[in-house]
Structure 1
Amino acid sequence: MTNNVLAVQEPPLVLSRPGNRGLQAWDAADELLIEAARERLQPGQRLALVDDAFGALTLALHDLEPTTIADNATLRGALADNGRSNGLEVEAPEDWMRPPLGPFDAIVMKIPRQIDYLEYLLRWANDVLVPGGLLMAGGMIKHIPDHGVGVFNRLVVTDQVLPARKKARVVVCQPGSAGLAGWEKQWLGYRLPASGLELRALPAVFARDHLDPGAHMLMPQVREAAASLAEGARVLDLACGNGVQGLTALLERQDLAVEFSDVSSQAIASAKANVKGAFPEADTRFEHGDGIAGNAGEFDLILLNPPFHDGGAVGDHIALRLFRQARRHLSPGGQLLVVGNRHLGYHKSLRRDFPQVRQLDADPRFVVFAASY
């Protein structure tokens, strides 16, 4: 049975994980970070919380009036729901499209799995912390990226490495001098085959420095589908990343109305920069959200390369939710184009929501499907 009571303080918090209530809404690193913050911080200090997953940090430390920043849009709904469940009203989280300005006296941060995103966060912390300010960073040991210790040693001054507990670790640091300005890895990218169009992306974006093989396989099908659409047809690049599929549609037809949606604020910032750089006059919209917004309306073509990692959990639960949303937002006669790893068996999953599912392409690793009703 899933534990939903976080009891590191009084009164305890009752927390749930939206969309997957069978999984716990916090981990041992959250518990250690809450304890470390309680021991070291006082009311009146300006505190930033970075990448709280489902509200455990924000709600446990709410009396310190923290500013919460999260790349992942799922925190918005989780924080609102868990706040109501505990009788607490907190501000909606900020994101990396409009990051809050410093200075901060302290930062409490979950350590990300991506090494470049970790470097981004530490450099940002160096930019916004007051001299002598505190950075408390924690994560599950198995999820701390390779060479992460080296990044900490290079960018910040480590004061303490707290004793590990429940396979989690917290380090307490002071800021270093290296910030985001002049960091050559803040934006990385590649050129699309044939078109030569350059795509760049920020550190939290999947496959930001190379064209993902699955995405590459999907692109010809996107161009063919886009070519057959009526003028002004609505296209959605769902889980857009750097915007490669929506841009592929625009390379074929610049008269389409293309929307880009992703759960990552850095993905949306990257897609927007790429699209506005290549097609500044195109009819485009950008949505930082967890899937398709309920008021998004209908689309004539939805493009999807669904993620199958959700933090430490791996599976098809994200894809299944996106398939259901796509079905509700697909116009009559429209289609969903999906690429996925062969072992995930998306042909079976898609048939739960779509009466017509066709395989368009495949290789030993990936399969492309078209789904419609």
Structure 2
Amino acid sequence: MSPLSSALSGRSRSWPRIAVLPFTGLSIVPSAEVLPLTAGNLKLSRPGAEPGLRAWDAADELLLAEAGNRLADSPRVLVVDDQFGALTLGLAQAHGPVTSVADSAVLPDALDYNARHNPGIARPALLHSWLNPPEGPFDLVVLRIPRHGAYLGWLLRWVNSVLADNGCLLAGGMIKHLPDRSVDVFAEAVVTETVLPARKKARVVVCRKGQAQLQGWAESWKGYPQEGLPAPVEALPAVFARDKLDIGTRELLPLVGPAVAGLKPGARVLDLACGNGVLGLTALACGSDITVDFSDVSSQAIASVQHNLGTCGYRAGQCQHSDGIREGAAQYDLILLNPPFHEGGVVGDHIALRLFRDAAKHLVPGGRMLMVGNRHLGYHKSLKRFFGKVEQRAASPRFVVFEAAP
């Protein structure tokens, strides 16, 4: 019986949980900043994150250890969705230059930061996202398994298009973060060769190229109709709340029209952390004489916004794949924000605080920000660190909408 069939024969539809074995591929991490590898230590940090958050986990360690056994037979290596550079720099240290593609705009900044602390390791000259994906074929693909099954299915089908016929896919993640139906998602898309024993609560799956492709896959785009917009709002799998309107955004939407109505002709609006762009699209529907920019850390979000602008027949200002607002960006009369409150498995307000800081620096005199957040996160206090005026505009049992101005 194959490893995949063995997994499917159990009652659980996730990978079987094997007892953690002694980890021999890499040394135990002695500190929060140094990752020991066979080729030498890596100094890694998470720029902009809360102190104490490590820049890698056991899944990165296990992927690096398994990939190290295959590098000699793999001239072209691709890393998919590295988090903070551990995989890209670790493999580059052992192999030489590798190609890296990631949905998140966090990776380029993290790689720049960590490459400076690891001189002699070749950082990729060009970092790819889903706005400019790399071309294959690749002999070895090292992939971080995402938390959501639809995005995993999308990634595996895309990998099939760039993996060499005799190439190998190593897909790894922390067991507690593996998406539901992981076994089924892999079985539908690729050929599972083996499932490595769990180590330090991490899992790696060794796969070969499958037949499934993205073209014609019904799960690529999902969306919903939104009142006031001429076409459904759709999004790719990595985008938050792509199937239905987020309940926090629902609290903020009624305030968008009145806010846009109060703007002068030629005003500039930013949909920050835009997701599928429903807030900015609504602003465009309410005011034809304004310019709306969109910004999100996810390249699939930006691709989704561009898609929705086309189907709605709207023209935007700029669509920025960025972790926050870029230095030198425009100044805005109105910023709309529904900030993320988790990054991977870490929940907190550190992302929102960065976005608040950026927003406060990019408002024109007299400009304002409308934002919605979970009530329990206490944004009314943290907003006052960056804005001189903070006023509650709406509330529900779970969410609060604030207007903030310098």
2:116 to 84, 88, 92: 84
1:109 to 140, 143, 146: 143
What is residue 277 of structure 1 aligned with on the other side?
311
Return the offset for 1:276. 2.8
What is residue 183 of structure 1 aligned with on the other side?
217
Rounded to whole Å, the distance in 1 between the matches of 2:291 and 2:60 is 42
Are 1:16 and 1:82, in contact at CA under 8 Å, matched by a contact in 2? yes
Rounded to whole Å, the distance in 2 between the matches of 1:139 and 1:150 is 16
Deviation by residue 1:238-276 (Cα, 9 ceiling, x = unmatched): 000011111011010021111100000000000111113
Deviation by residue 1:301-359 (Cα, 9 ceiling, x = unmatched): 00000000101100111001110111111111010000011111111111111121111
Rounded to whole Å, the distance in 1 between the matches of 2:180 and 2:366 is 47
1:58 and 2:88 correspond: yes
What is residue 48 of structure 2 aligned with on the other side?
19
1:69 and 2:101 correspond: yes
1:288 to 321, 340, 349: 321
What is residue 338 of structure 2 aligned with on the other side?
305
Are 2:198 and 2:204, in contact at CA under 8 Å, matched by a contact in 1? yes
What is residue 157 of structure 1 aligned with on the other side?
191
1:169 and 2:198 correspond: no
Rounded to whole Å, the distance in 2 between the matches of 1:283 and 1:151 is 36
Deviation by residue 1:84-142 (Cα, 9 ceiling, x = unmatched): 11003312420001111111111100000011000001111112112121000000000
What is residue 77 of structure 2 aligned with on the other side?
47
Rounded to whole Å, the distance in 1 between the matches of 2:178 and 2:31 is 24
Return the offset for 1:154. 2.0
What is residue 140 of structure 1 aligned with on the other side?
174
Rounded to whole Å, the distance in 2 between the matches of 1:42 and 1:199 is 46
Are 2:74 and 2:139, in contact at CA under 8 Å, matched by a contact in 1? no
Are 1:134 and 1:174, in contact at CA under 8 Å, matched by a contact in 2? yes
Rounded to whole Å, the distance in 2 between the matches of 1:194 and 1:289 is 28
Rounded to whole Å, the distance in 2 between the matches of 1:204 and 1:254 is 30
Rounded to whole Å, the distance in 2 between the matches of 1:55 and 1:11 is 15
* CA-atom RMSD in angstroms: 1.3
What is residue 4 of structure 1 aligned with on the other side?
33
SS in 2 for 1:276: helix
SS in 2 for 1:93: coil
What is residue 38 of structure 1 aligned with on the other side?
68
Q: Which moved more, 1:145-154 or 1:238-247?
A: 145-154
What is residue 3 of structure 2 aligned with on the other side?
none
Return the offset for 1:48. 0.9
Q: Rate the CA distance shift 1:76–1:42 in 2: closer, same or farther, 3 A.
A: same
Are 2:229 and 2:281, in contact at CA under 8 Å, matched by a contact in 1? no
Are 2:62 and 2:204, in contact at CA under 8 Å, matched by a contact in 1? yes
TM-score (norm 1): 0.97
Return the offset for 1:197. 3.1
1:318 to 351, 357, 366: 351
Q: Rate the CA distance shift 1:83–1:77 in 2: closer, same or farther, 3 A.
A: same
Deviation by residue 1:290-311 (Cα, 9 ceiling, x = unmatched): 0000100311000000000101
What is residue 288 of structure 2 aligned with on the other side?
254
One-letter amino acid of the counterpart of residue 30, structure 1: D
1:129 and 2:159 correspond: no
Rounded to whole Å, the distance in 2 between the matches of 1:134 and 1:231 is 55
TM-score (norm 2): 0.89
Deviation by residue 1:169-197 (Cα, 9 ceiling, x = unmatched): 11111011011011011011101024453
Deviation by residue 1:51-70 (Cα, 9 ceiling, x = unmatched): 00010111111134211000
One-letter amino acid of the counterpart of residue 54, structure 1: F
The total of aligned residue pairs comes to 372
Rounded to whole Å, the distance in 2 between the matches of 1:10 and 1:344 is 43
Identical aligned pairs, as a percentage? Answer: 56
SS in 1 for 2:364: strand
Rounded to whole Å, the distance in 2 between the matches of 1:368 and 1:315 is 18
What is residue 328 of structure 1 aligned with on the other side?
361
Are 1:123 and 1:180, in contact at CA under 8 Å, matched by a contact in 2? yes
Rounded to whole Å, the distance in 1 between the matches of 2:316 and 2:142 is 39
Structure 1 stretches of 4+ with a deviation exceeding 6 A read none
SS in 2 for 1:357: strand
Are 1:255 and 1:283, in contact at CA under 8 Å, matched by a contact in 2? no
SS in 1 for 2:207: strand
